[in-house]
Amino acid sequence: MAENEQAKAQTASPSAEESIFTKIINGQIPCKKVYEDDQAFAFHDINATAPVHFLVVPKKPITQLSAVDPSDEQLLGHLMLVASKCAKQEGLDEGYRVVVNDGKHGCQSVYHLHLHVIGGKQLGWPPTGN
């Protein structure tokens, strides 16, 4: 699966079209929702890499972390708080990992900023470079 994600990341790029995450937020594509408020949306990843794997996305369509604006500071903090709240809600009491992929080399395959929250098992360190 990692190779597939790497291949997707090599061909993905920011687009003028709505991202798949915007379509999920708008209810055009179904998902298993974890959380929603006026700024953020969280849902389970359909390509889970662990027993618990969900995404936290801003409703504002920011393409990637390297494209944030200083005015996004509060929103970025809010996303982290939502990740923490949802991790508790999902029973990740023993810990979890938060990952943000940025750009091709960061293996970003959807250009809508998102936090992966991964847990439910013992994760290794360091994360693999593949």
State the Cα–Cα distance between residues 91 and 76, nearest whole angstrom: 23
Which one of 53, 112, 114, 116 is the catalytic residue? 114
Q: What angle do CA 127, 60, 58 make, to 5 degrees?
A: 35
78 catalytic per annotation: no
Residue with tokens 């936290």: 56
What six digits make up the tokens of 64? 């990637």
Q: Which residues are catalytic?
A: 114
